Amino acid sequence: MKLKILSTLVCALMIATVFAMVLPMSMNAQAAVADEIYTFDLSDEGFVKEADSARGDVHWDSNNKNVYFNSQRYESTDERLVKELPQTFTDTSGDWELSADIKVTQPGWWTHAYPIFIGDGDNDCMRWGKSQLNIVWERSNTGNHLLAWYRGTGGQLTVFMDYVANTYTTYNAKLSYELATQTLKSELFVGSTLVASGTYAIGTNPDDGFAFDEIGVAANGLIGDVPWIFPEPPVVGTTDNIALVYTPSLPVPVASIIDAGSAGVKEVEADFSVSKHSVTCTILEDGVEILTLNDGDKASFTYFDSKTYEAFYVFDKTSSGKSPSVTTLKFRAVGGSSQVNHMEKFTATPEHQETSVEINDYLDQLLFAQNGRLFIFDGSASYDSDGDAITSWEWLVYDSEGILIGTLNGEVVSYLFPASGDYTVRLTVSDGNLQDFVDTPVAVL
């Protein structure tokens, strides 16, 4: 008999990695794609005895190749056979489904058996523990019952499925969680027929939530160690075909595409030769310095018509008291022959050694020389429900015919579309293991 850990991922947009665990007998988990990670014999290294009681008994039956449980009323301590999960499942993790075939051959009386459970390995007692989800067999004066028990991190008990069951009937029990709705679900099948189900929404009670790091089978009685008072028969049964399929939550790409307006790459040439004094010119974009020019310097920058630009001049006034005359700042569009001269006449006095002038009108004259529509691609709102950090953002730009025309990387980037038309921008985000993408149509006017 083999215990298998499998990996599967089904995503709405792409197939990546999903993780699944399959325990003894045939695999019940439905997976579109499965990659075997490792395999081992259940009999010697699958389940381990986590708790050992004096009279209750849970063990691997090597003859019948299943898990045997015997739960006695006069045993108040647990007997548990468990398998530690490779990771902790929380209410913010992905979707998962735990299933097992369970059968009770002796109903017992006023005792509790746990043919299958998923829970927090720090619990000392199945009956009173916190953060656990169980299928429970209970016989009372109202008959034999299969129950779904849930205790959140606060320990409050909720029974959200109660089914009057039969002995010697094999039930396929399923416990599952859906992240999108934060809902726990329990189902019982006989063959392919659903005979019972129930749901529980996380957040219904205070201190809801969970942190599951093990699955297993357990036996537990009702009262203390006094067998001579309550000699009722124990609950006896088997658990088989345990399977756990986990679909981790994918990183969620959120793309914000912002039209930043007309823009062009401008070349600026400083010509201060007509000035009578040494002059330094600084170009400001929305009040922030982007470049500084001395006489004869040339430099380039990207101009956005949505921002405000200033030429800020500083004069080195001589002791002669002479005032500077005309200062010229030339603007050129890179790759074009168009040129615009910005000409201003300044007077420098001992009290006024510097001045500035807005130059947007001059830059606007060059838009037709070389221009396009500049867009900001912002992926900073992307997230991962598991809490994993987003580690990469890739932007692919496609034209109307689906041809890739641009690739950018970064959380926030800018892109100058070459012409008007319809485009598609694809954002792919990754948490280092899994990735997902979203396509955003962009109409450039």
The SS3 of residue 262 is: strand
Give the C-alpha separation, 434 to 438, whole Å: 14
Whether 62 has a pLDDT exceeding 60, the answer reads: yes
Report pLDDT digits (tens) over 347-393: 656 555 778 888 888 877 765 444 567 788 999 999 887 778 999 99
Domain ranges within the chain, ordered by starting residue? 2-249, 252-256+373-444, 262-364
Tokens of 151: 């205790």
Cβ-based burial of 208 (10 A; exposed 0-12, middle 13-18, buried ≥19) = buried
Print burial letters for 407-442: b (CB count within 10 Å at least 16), e (below 16): eeeeeebbbbbeeeeebebbbbbbbebbbbbbeeeb
Whether 191 has a pLDDT exceeding 80, the answer reads: yes
The SS3 of residue 409 is: strand
CB 342 within 8 A of CB 328: yes
Q: Which residue has the higher pLDDT, 59 or 330?
A: 59
What percentage of the chain carries pLDDT values higher than 70? 76
Say which amino acid occupies 403. I
Phi first, then psi: what are they for 332, rounded to 5°? -130, 150
Whether 42 has a pLDDT exceeding 90, the answer reads: no
- Nearest by Cα to 47 from 36, 62, 32, 63: 62
**pLDDT at res. 104:** 96
Average pLDDT rounded to a whole number, residues 154-165: 94
- β partners of residue 162: 147
What percentage of the chain carries pLDDT values higher than 90? 35
Q: How confident is the model at residue 274 (pLDDT cuts 50, 70, 90)?
A: low
Say which amino acid occupies 9. L
- The CATH superfamily label for domain 252-256+373-444 reads Immunoglobulins (2.60.40.10)
Average pLDDT rounded to a whole number, residues 399-403: 94
The hierarchical CATH code for the domain 262-364 is: 2.60.60
In order, the DSSP letters of 117-149 are EEE-TT-S-TTT-SSEEEEEEEEETTEEEEEEE
User: Per 3-state DSSP, what percentage of the chain is helix, strand, and coil (rounded to 5)?
Assistant: 0, 55, 40
Whether 261 has a pLDDT exceeding 50, the answer reads: yes
Whether 129 has a pLDDT exceeding 60, the answer reads: yes
Q: Which residue has the higher pLDDT, 189 or 42?
A: 189
Say which amino acid occupies 290. I
**Range with top average pLDDT, 212-216, 300-304, 384-388, 391-395:** 391-395
**Residue in the block written with tokens 């500083």:** 314
2-249 belongs to which CATH class? mainly beta
Phi first, then psi: what are they for 96, rounded to 5°? -150, 160
Q: Which residue has the higher pLDDT, 338 or 119?
A: 119
Whether 197 has a pLDDT exceeding 70, the answer reads: yes
Average pLDDT rounded to a whole number, residues 47-61: 81
- β partners of residue 188: 173, 196
**pLDDT at res. 341:** 77
Centroid of chain to Cα 210: 18
In order, the DSSP letters of 19-66 are EEEE-SSS-----SS-EEEEEEEHHHHTSEEEE--SS-EEEEETTTTE
Handedness of CA 214, 215, 219, 221 (dihedral sign): positive
